[in-house]
Structure 1
Amino acid sequence: MPKSPPKSPSRSAASTQPPNLSGAQIRQTFLDFYAERGHQVLPSASLVPEDPTVLLTIAGMLPFKPIFLGQRAAEFPRATSSQKCIRTNDIENVGRTARHHTFFEMLGNFSFGDYFKEKAIVWAWELSTEVFKLPPERLVVSVFREDDEAFAIWRDQIGIPEARIKRMDEKDNFWQSGPTGPCGPCSEIYYDFHPERGDDHIDLEDDTRFIEFYNLVFMQYNQDAEGNLTPLSAQNIDTGMGLERMAQILQRVPNNYETDLIFPIIQTAAQIAGLDYSACDEKTKTSLKVIGDHVRAVTHLIADGVNASNLGRGYVLRRLIRRVVRHGRLIGIEQPFITQVAESAIALAEAAYPNLRQREKAIKTELALEESRFLETLERGEKLLADIIAKLPAKGQISGQDAFTLYDTYGFPLELTQEIAEEAGLTVNTDGFEVEMEKQRDRARAAHETIDLTVQGSLDTLAENLHETSFLGYTQPQAEAEVKLVLVQGKPVDTAAAGTDVQVILDQTPFYAESGGQVGDRGVLLGEAGLRVRVQDVQKDGAIFVHFGTVEAGTLKTGDRLTAQIDLACRRRAQANHTATHLLQAALKKLIDENIGQQGSMVAFDRLRFDYNLARPLTAEEIQQIEDQVNTWIAEAHAADVSIMPLATAKAKGATAMFGEKYADEVRVIDFPGVSMELCGGTHVSNTAEIGLFKIISETGVSAGVRRIEAVAGPAVLEYLNLRDRVVRDLGDRFKAKPEEIPDRITALQDELKTTHKELAALKAELAIAQSDQLIDQAEALGDFKILVAEMPNADADALKTAAERLLQKLGEGAVFLGSAPAADKVALVAAFSPAVNQKGLQAGKLIGAIAKLCGGGGGGRPNFAQAGGRDPSKLTEALTEARSQIHAALG
């Protein structure tokens, strides 16, 4: 509670002018305010959330999800934070409205069963009016229509006139995490840019007058599947103040983009484009705003360990980068530029987020690679658009689906497609484009942007009555255990007969559950009366281990006492491969780059996969050096030292942690002294000598800046080598050669094949010349020009090209147009024109594109030379006749 009663927002009272605070000052002021009121200040969580059901961190409350669900006890009764967030559900509005963003910061204060509505409202008002000094007469609040308690607090304790307290329905003022789960009414505070318009016509949907900057959520209910609300045992507070929105208000600028949080990035982009932002039209300003917003987003995403790809959060990153490049081209930037703008974003935010500067190299490398690749993609898109246009009749229309493919796959803005189409006398089906765009928005909303706090798997409701599974597998290959739960197709059963696929939960287990990239153990569950359950996999649901298997004999019952026994041969293989990944990472750091870090891994029984950050492929020599180093460490027989210690201690000792991974306060450290020390919960060999051998199978690229090594270790190496040996023996028998002679034999055959191809090409060229010499007599005079339009039977595109160039050389000033049907479903066309013909306005590229349509194809080229293809040989004669007619008309 404030020390003095809240001031009444009387319009007659003189109001203090709000301070013009920087974004950094607003952030710190908010955190300090709540720290003084007993809130623990917490750093922003990563944009990559711990919650596997959510793609990206999209709200300030997301890191506290387990607390709100009652799955984890709160370490502090009160907390406050400034949380980085990413949302892309309204990406098309970015830059077009005053306050839509993909990246934004949410200032929040949270109570976990401590205080509730009264303190949340009083403190929010005190912060807004007494600290940020917003004039009370400029503030309007909303409450849920049935929340009389909040209404009364605002009216009676804060003193806001009823006319400026708006009751809203569920859509606006009732927060729900999903169809079920914690929920409750909320109250929002709006800033009024035009209080002079009075209180008679307050419409909070009018974003030209009002901006909602602070949302207070009162989580007081639990909603069941039927929509029934029951009070929660603990009432929680979840608030969010938009940093960018408060900056717009206090810095007195017309939109969030012109605040000091974003505008310096926009200015950098404008300078690169040679533009003065203040003098730009709205279309250009929109592109600059998109660049400013998206560059903030991509720098933070990469800093938090996201790499561009075509899946999941990697696709979000790639899409944002491509939009930056696309909008750069719209404002005239043709050269690579995104790393320059990223430097501005890093410099602007590094004080609050030091990891941006720490990850500067990774950020700029990823951005440069993605930008260069996308520029190449744009060139391919331009060729595709040319093909689309070539197939359309005069005054035709590019379909909405084609326009959207160009936009979504090749990065073509709709405006660019329309511009090019207009030059060709065509239009674009924009309605069809919008239909495809809306389909994509629906997919994006469904896939990425829902905070669902209830999706925890079918075991959630049952897990409340289960204790976490005790894992014994680090030291025991088998253990006695009690069956706590049996599931068939996700539903609990009392018994399961032979032949039934089951999921079994035990009180304790030696089976390792899949995690950290390592597969789950295999083995058997053995019980009385011949009971035998074959376990094929083990997964985790929180701290509960779920054994997936099949009842092979007997009947499995809840409450059974049985023996859980892992397959030791499989475990040893997994251990060998897992330890090998640790040695592999150590070798990469030692031999290639000490900044290399794990980006992902897979440890199976028969192989291993290790993804790491590196902007280039490894050379063959480097791969051999890495393999030799790992095998040297194996042969040196380094013993493992496994220990549990505080996370801070492990990091101080130099233990390697996976970037972006979340660790508990106590961590397990796998140390092979002098070689490798990592935080890891997986199973490992006790001595590197147990691995035996290590062999790299391949090294490939996964995405920009991420490489992948696939390898085998232990017994799998022998299997791999045996397979290769069989292949070599078979090749030796085929070539009648010793293994060491096979490469030379293959090289000789390749050279022979190349020679044959060259000879064949030479023969085809000679044939084309001979055929062309026979056609020269068909040339006709047309004024000062000589014209030859003819068919060369069975000639391919290369032969036509050779013939056309030779014929034009012989004819002098003139035009040559040749056609052929080298296959039953293929047409080849070529046009070669002299400079004087071009001066008459006749261009080979334009003519051949139109003629090729008659044969069901398309093509183009330069004014003096062009080639095209088609699919309908029956139209070849018609096409040549039309070509002759158009040449005569142009030159006659």
Structure 2
Amino acid sequence: MSSNPQYLSGNEIRNIFLDFFAQRNHQILPSASLVPEDPTVLLTIAGMLPFKPIFLGQRTAEFKRATTSQKCIRTNDIENVGRTKRHHTFFEMLGNFSFGDYFKEQAIAWGWEISTQVFGFSPQNLVVSVFEEDDEAFGIWRDQIGVPVARIKRLGEDDNFWVSGPTGPCGPCSEIYYDFHPERGDENIDLEDDTRFIEFYNLVFMQYNRDASGNLTPLQNKNIDTGMGLERMAQILQKVPNNYETDLIFPIIQTAAQIAGIDYHKSDEKTKVSLKVIGDHVRSVVHMIADEIRASNVGRGYVLRRLIRRVVRHGRLIGISGEFTTQVAETAIALSELAYPNVRQREAAIKAELQREESNFLRTLDRGEKLLEEIIQEVKQQGETQISGESAFTLYDTYGFPLELTQEVAEENNLTVDEVGFNAEMQKQVERAKAAHETIDLTVQGSLDKLAEHIQVTEFLGYTQSAVTAKVEAILVEGVSQEEAEAGTEVQIVLDKTPFYGESGGQIGDRGYISGDGIVVRVEDVKKESDFFVHFGRIERGTLRVGDHVTAQIDPACRRRAQANHTATHLLQAALKKIVDDSISQAGSLVSFDRLRFDFNCPRALTAEEVQQIEEQVNTWIAEAHSAKVEVLPLAEAKARGAVAMFGEKYGDEVRVIDFPNVSMELCGGTHVSNTAEIGVFKIISEAGVASGVRRIEAVSGPAILDYLNLRDKVVKDLSDRFKVKPEEVPDRITSLQSELKNSQKELETLKGQLAIAKSDSLLQTAETVGDSKIIVAQLEDVDPESLKTAAERLLQKIGNGAVVLGSVPEEGKVSIVAAFSAEVNKKGLQAGKFVGAIAKICGGGGGGRPNLAQAGGRDASKLPEALQQAESELKSALG
């Protein structure tokens, strides 16, 4: 390539980078899924994340050198998307990695070579930064590369020292910046000035390990981890003002603009921001759904739902009223399919998920519009001119209303919005989000990771053995490594080998005992952390020491229950595919000792007939006594045979296949029965929706069936004894009691109303004449809000022109106040809604309603007499 940078497409930049390092003995590896193997991280947020176990020394690298283009998602700065030149939720990180092979000198040389000789950047357009204490890197840039000292900037730890977390691998880094205005000279270079500089390549020299005290010690293997931003490189090489106008994103923006009937380049800044948000977020959601993430209200599913809703909201802001997300998704799919073929393969699923989420959210927006109308009416009735920041934020956070949309509607009604209050509520949410923001935590089980290089990984023997002799590799007490622990102590134990299954794939960990010479430890749970099985338990007798040889024995009864339930989930999925829809896929599961739970993707509820057919089919397969065939196969061969992958699981080159021929074949690392007949019986307890497009079946099987039946039998006997009827007559007796209770409640409500009227009638004689009106202000004891309202209306009807304000404490800690005003009183400027809302504030509450009748509530009953006295005073002042 020439020394002058020329236009390159995003795909060309990606390929050139990967080819450059492939020619230098780097293995090109495919992008990992956005669903990371690491359970401590919600989404894949950096190019190095898939290599975390290698950097930790927990896994041996298959290749000494690797290069990738990794798709990533980060949402911690989501509010900046579209507002800055280069903030994104979805981005691609080009990286080259060395696992104990080359280090600083070679990484810097190649970084400079690809920047200047391959991509054609002039050295005059480049500035580099180094960690302020890294004299070695500074010397390489100055003496070997020849960068002028004035264009090498030393920066502090916040900018140029990469850390994985409070402890773990870390090291200094060096960044390469592109200078758009080298003519401004080398004096007073400020790399924070994003109008002049853009950082496009970061070289991390991972050479230290940081302990809990903050001490740094050199790693046995020094590693290189680099990241080049694809979108930033495209901005530079395509000579556009921001990342959004590159060929990676701009076609999506153009599609959205065409649907809205607008021109991006002729639009105002607010419209451009909305178009940029749509362009960015649509890339994110397309890749997330392609990687089998489904929208929900928790975890990564919530991230997906939030991004889709932001797309829809910003579509509304630029004038799109109907559904449009599938149209812009088609553009995003077309842009990505060359590098990521799975997006085209998952096209139908992507569009179905988008259509469902968009349709549901549009209905939510409609509800938000109705709420906004109510808020506006209440503000006007109270004589106010501003919608509170809290109300605006509720509309934004719960109903997806952007502040701009609330402001527009408010302006149409001659109102304003408390933007300061809104921003205060937003800041609270940002702080909550930052506190919970996902980070790359290379310190899983902190103390355990410090021991990773010194202890043996756990060999799992539980598929064939229920008890083994093992060596104690580590003991943790409250997360801190100990050499020994005494009786009564809660511990976490790592053994060199174990028969205990560690919680994974939805199946919970085994229970049992670890015992030795005078030692007994009850194991209550087992979790798998990377390649270590951590046994959670309590020492019941003796003193356990690191290095002890012990016997690890699982509880066989618990294991049999878990095996029955786990195999039952496989049969359940097969039955769902056969009876309901072959496209059904697993969305989560729980395999416990007493029950099983299976979540699956389905846009509708199952019929009662389908549930019965599924249960019958599973029990038929159980009775047919199908034997299990367990094999370890190459992943490609297993998939070719039709093996079903489990949700959320990551697979290596070889996989374990559980096959019940002609019934079910799945990739699974869990424990199973050897023959379906061992399950005994299968019973579905419930079928219900748990999220949009996701259903859940809960069931029991095997020995747990007897527990289930015993509990039901006990309940039925108890009800039969209480009602003094036969078991089969219990439903009819309950229906009869419900009817009686309903009639009694109606009678009670009628009596309450009559009592309130009777009490209120006695107040007529207390009516006081003020001017040409009459007023009644009084407290009634133990009258519910509805009856209080009826009483106020009746009194007003009897006094004619006037005002009635009644208060009551229907139950402890609650206050109810009603105001009823005649038309003549309204003409004098008094409105019941505004009046009663202000009075209720004295009792720590509020409320409102129509000008002639309104109701309010409060929390401080002790203030009710004061509130009524204030009401009487204000009425006399206004009407006298």
Give TM-score, length-normalised by structure 1: 0.85
Tell me the CA shift for residue 100 of structure 1.
1.3
Q: What residue is the counterpart of 1:11 in the other structure?
A: none
Aligned-partner SS, 1:667: strand
1:88 partner amino acid: T
Unaligned runs of 5+ in 2: none
Note if 1:38 corresponds to 2:25.
yes
Which letter does structure 1 place at the counterpart of 2:460?
F
Alignment correspondent of 2:577 = 589
Q: Please list, as runs of the form range in 1=range in 2, the aligned pairs for 1:209-608 lying within 5 A after superposition.
A: 209-224=196-211, 229-271=216-258, 273=260, 275-309=262-296, 311-328=298-315, 330-331=317-318, 338=325, 340-357=327-344, 358=346, 359-361=349-351, 363-364=353-354, 367-368=357-358, 371-372=361-362, 374-375=364-365, 378=368, 382=372, 408=397, 411=400, 413=402, 428=418, 430=420, 437=426, 440-489=429-478, 497-528=486-517, 531-554=519-542, 556-608=544-596
State the secondary structure of the residue aligned to 2:633: strand
Q: Name the structure 2 match of 1:683.
A: 671
Cα deviation code 1:479-507 (max 9, x no counterpart): 34444555555556666554444444444
Write out per-residue CA displacement over residues 140-162 of structure 1, whole angstroms, 9 at most, x where no aligned residue: 33334454554455455555444
Deviates more, 1:571-580 or 1:483-492: 483-492
Letter in 2 for 1:375: L
Name the counterpart of 1:19: 6
Counterpart among 36, 42, 58 of residue 71 in structure 1? 58
Q: Which moved more, 1:362-371 or 1:575-584?
A: 362-371
Deviations 1:711-738 (A, max 9, x none): 2111111111111111112222222322
State the Cα distance separating 1:391 from its structure 2 match. Answer: 12
Bigger mean CA deviation after superposition, 602-611 or 356-365: 356-365
Quick one: which amino acid aligns to residue 108 of structure 2? I
Write the letter of the residue equivalent to 1:46.
S
Q: Which sits farther off after the overlay, 332-341 or 504-513?
A: 332-341
Equivalent residues of 1:473, 1:509 under 8 A apart: yes
**Equivalent residue of 2:742, what SS?**
helix
Q: Which amino acid aligns with 2:523?
A: V
Q: Which moved more, 1:245-254 or 1:640-649?
A: 245-254
- Classify 1:292/1:767 alpha carbon distance in 2 versus 1 (closer, same or farther; 3 Å): farther
Superposed displacement of residue 662, structure 1: 0.8
Q: What is residue 821 of structure 1 aligned with on the other side?
A: 808
Change (3 A) 1:750 1:476: same
Matched-pair contact (CA < 8 Å) for 2:375–2:387: no
Q: Aligned to 2:601, which of 590, 604, 613?
A: 613
Deviations 1:633-658 (A, max 9, x none): 11221111111111111111111112
CA-CA distance at 1:174 after TM superposition: 3.0
Mapping of residues 719-734 of structure 1, within 5 Å = 719-734=707-722
Q: 2:839, 2:515 → 1: CA distance?
A: 77
Deviation at residue 213 of structure 1 after TM alignment: 1.4
User: Counterpart of 2:195 in structure 1: which amino acid?
Assistant: T
Measured in 2, the distance between the counterparts of 1:22 and 1:884 equals 75
The reply on whether 1:651 has 2:639 as its aligned counterpart is: yes
Shift of 1:687: 1.1
- Contact 1:80 / 1:110 at 8 angstroms: preserved in 2? yes
- Contact 2:381 2:833 (C-alpha < 8 Å) held by counterparts: no
Report if the CA contact (8 A) 2:81-2:87 is conserved. Answer: yes
What are the equivalent positions in structure 2 for 1:28-177 lying under 5 Å apart? 28-151=15-138, 153-155=140-142, 158-177=145-164
Deviation at 1:747, TM superposition (A): 2.1
Task: Name the aligned partner's letter for residue 712 of structure 1.
Answer: V
The answer to whether the 8 A contact 1:265-1:345 is kept is yes
Given that 1:418 and 1:428 are in contact with CA atoms closer than 8 Å, whether structure 2 keeps it comes out as: no
Contact (CA 8 Å) 1:385, 1:406: kept in 2 or not? Answer: no
Shift of the 760–493 alpha-carbon distance from structure 1 to 2, 3 Å rule, reads closer
Question: Structure 1: any 5+ residue segments left out of the alignment?
Answer: 8-14
Equivalent residue letter for 1:283:
K
Deviation by residue 1:727-771 (Cα, 9 ceiling, x = unmatched): 112222222322222222222332333344455556777888999
Task: Report the more deviating stretch, 864-873 or 639-648.
Answer: 864-873
Residues 571 and 286 of structure 1: is their aligned pair in 2 closer, same or farther, counting only changes over 3 Å?
Answer: same
Number of aligned pairs?
Answer: 870
Equivalents in 2 of 1:446, 1:780: separation in Å? 59
| Structure 1 residue 671 corresponds to structure 2 residue 659 | yes
Change (3 A) 1:777 1:557: closer
Q: 1:207 aligns with which of 194, 205, 213?
A: 194
Inter-partner Cα distance in structure 2 for 1:316 and 1:227: 34
Q: Cα gap change, 1:270/1:874 in structure 2, threshold over 3 Å: closer, same or farther?
A: farther
Say if 1:307 and 1:703, in contact at 8 Å, map to a contact too: no
Kept in 2, the 8 Å contact 1:45–1:84? The answer is: yes
CA shift, 1:341, in A, is 4.4
> Cα deviation per residue 1:142-190 (whole Å; 9 max; x = unaligned)?
3344545544554555554444333333333333333444333333222
C-alpha distance in 1 between matches for 2:796 and 2:250? 59
Say if 1:829 and 1:852, in contact at 8 Å, map to a contact too.
Answer: no
Distance 1:734 1:180 in 2: 62
Whether the aligned pair in 2 keeps the contact of 1:596 and 1:614 (CA below 8 Å) is yes
Q: Is the 8 A contact 2:78 2:88 kept in 1?
A: yes
Q: Does structure 1 retain, via aligned residues, the 8 Å contact 2:559–2:593?
A: yes
CA contact (8 A) 1:365 1:705 kept: no
Return the offset for 1:585.
1.5
The amino acid of 2:357's aligned partner reads: L
Query: Which stretch has the larger CA shift, 193-202 or 498-507?
Result: 498-507
Distance 2:515 2:393 in 1: 58
Tell me if the contact between 1:796 and 1:820 (Cα under 8 Å) persists in the aligned partners.
Answer: no
**Match in the other structure for 1:10:** none
Alpha-carbon displacement from aligned partner over 1:768-822 (angstroms, at most 9, x marks no partner)? 8999999999999999x9999787967655456667889999999x887664537
SS in 2 for 1:458: helix
Q: Which amino acid aligns with 1:539?
A: K
2:695 to 707, 711, 714: 707
Distance 1:180 1:560, change over 3 A: closer
Alpha-carbon distance between aligned partners in 2 of 1:565 and 1:236, rounded to the nearest angstrom: 40
Displacement of 1:671 in angstroms is 0.9
Question: 1:839, 1:356 → 2: CA distance?
Answer: 66
Q: Partners in 2 of 1:861 and 1:638 — Cα distance?
A: 68
Q: For the Cα contact (< 8 Å) 1:390–1:850, is it kept in 2?
A: no
